[in-house]
Amino acid sequence: MSDNLDGTTTGTRPEDGGTGARIVAALDGVGMRRITTGQIILDAVDWTVRAGEHWALLGPNGAGKTSILRLVGATHHPTTGTVEVLGHRLGRVDVRELRAHIGHVSTSQRVPLDLPGHTVVLTGHTGTVQPLWKAYDTEVRDRADALLAELDIKDLADRPYGVCSGGQRARVLIARALMADPALLLLDEPFNALDLPSREDLIDTMRRLAAGRPHLATVTVTHHLEELSPAIGHALLLRDGRVLARGPVEDVLTPDRMTACFGRPIEVTRHAGRWLARSAGQP
């Protein structure tokens, strides 16, 4: 495995099938228990994310999706098993340094509402809530400008974050996360509470981001197949902390597997790279 926190060298595992693809994150026999009650949160989870892959994490509430995201985001440690991120095993690396190379987007992130969009993006360079102006030289400021342009939100540069729409905020946060040029981008329910136009704008942003950054790996937690970008090529289904299925989306997002995951009959269709799930028997 790589000795660099940016994951630039090659590492392989048996499940690579001999492709030599670089491993970005790997869970091996991972279990998590709640210390106070002994409740099982995750049980014997095996999962590998490679450079350039785009994964969706799906499952009912309480299935363990956020717990997995916290593990690969290096904010939690497993109770059993091993977690490796960017070539480093949790428990053997300074996680503060490791987190600097992982992009994380969540609607629960604390962002001062009065900061303009450009400043919010700048704080991604220092990983701080408030800006540290002395740390932002011309090169850093230009990079923030370029990211706003890449995500098609240059018009938000001077707009206070607090008056941005939900979809605009999500794209500002993605730009902020990309300031560290991460190898791995984690998105925790980024479509939460978005209206239809905002959802579609964000989906298109994710599609373009995948096309423009071929080595970036992403993991998106969502509850709805309709929110999956056509760039999503892999899916992990969780139920009660256990993996029901993982792999290419066309193999995982089947009616039988979705029914087993969510506990009710579900029909699944796909058109032009977009997915739709509904209860079986609905007109």
* Per-residue pLDDT tens over the stretch 166-198: 999 999 999 999 999 999 999 999 998 889 999
Q: Residue 282: is its pLDDT beyond 70?
A: no
Q: Which of 16-20, 30-34, 65-69, 223-227 has the lowest mean pLDDT?
A: 16-20
pLDDT at 281 (0 to 100): 66
* Boundary (domain end) residue, out of 166, 181, 196: 181
Average pLDDT over residues 223-246: 94
- Number of domains forming the structure of the chain: 2
pLDDT over 70 for what percent of the chain?
Answer: 92
pLDDT at 145 (0 to 100): 96
pLDDT over 90 for what percent of the chain?
Answer: 76
| 190 in the same domain as 82 | yes
| 169 in the same domain as 196 | no
The helix or strand, by DSSP H or E, that contains position 187, with its residue range, turns out to be: strand 184-188
* pLDDT, tens digit (0-9, with 9 covering 90-100), for 115-134: 999 999 999 999 899 999 99
| 188 in the same domain as 89 | yes
| 280 in the same domain as 201 | yes
| 91 in the same domain as 113 | no
What is each CA distance from 16 to 8, 23, 26, 47, 50, in whole angstroms? 17, 9, 11, 11, 9
Asked if residue 174 lies in contact with residue 152, where contact means CB atoms within 8 angstroms, the answer is no
| 115 in the same domain as 196 | no
| 237 in the same domain as 97 | yes
Q: What is the CATH number of the domain that holds 42?
A: 3.40.50.300
* Boundary (domain end) residue, out of 134, 157, 181: 181
* pLDDT, tens digit (0-9, with 9 covering 90-100), for 26-43: 999 999 988 777 788 999
Segments forming the whole domain that contains residue 78: 1-101+183-283
pLDDT at 96 (0 to 100): 86
| Distance between CA atoms of residues 146 and 175, nearest Å | 9
* Boundary (domain end) residue, out of 123, 149, 181: 181
Asked if residue 266 lies in contact with residue 259, where contact means CB atoms within 8 angstroms, the answer is yes
| 191 in the same domain as 94 | yes
pLDDT at 100 (0 to 100): 86
Backbone φ/ψ region at 107: left (φ over 0), alpha (ψ -120 to 50), beta: alpha
pLDDT at 94 (0 to 100): 86
Asked if residue 184 lies in contact with residue 49, where contact means CB atoms within 8 angstroms, the answer is yes
| 169 in the same domain as 146 | yes
| 167 in the same domain as 200 | no
| 159 in the same domain as 202 | no
* pTM for this predicted structure: 0.88
| Distance between CA atoms of residues 155 and 126, nearest Å | 23
Average pLDDT over residues 154-176: 94
Residues 6+ apart with CB under 8 A from 7: 22, 23, 24, 51, 86, 87, 101, 183, 184
| 85 in the same domain as 8 | yes
Average pLDDT over residues 229-244: 95
Residue pointed to by tokens 């993605």:
174
* 58 C-beta neighbours (distance < 10 Å), count: 28
Q: Residue 1: is its pLDDT beyond 60?
A: no
- Classify residue 84 as exposed, middle or buried by CB count within 10 Å of its CB (0-12, 13-18, 19+): buried
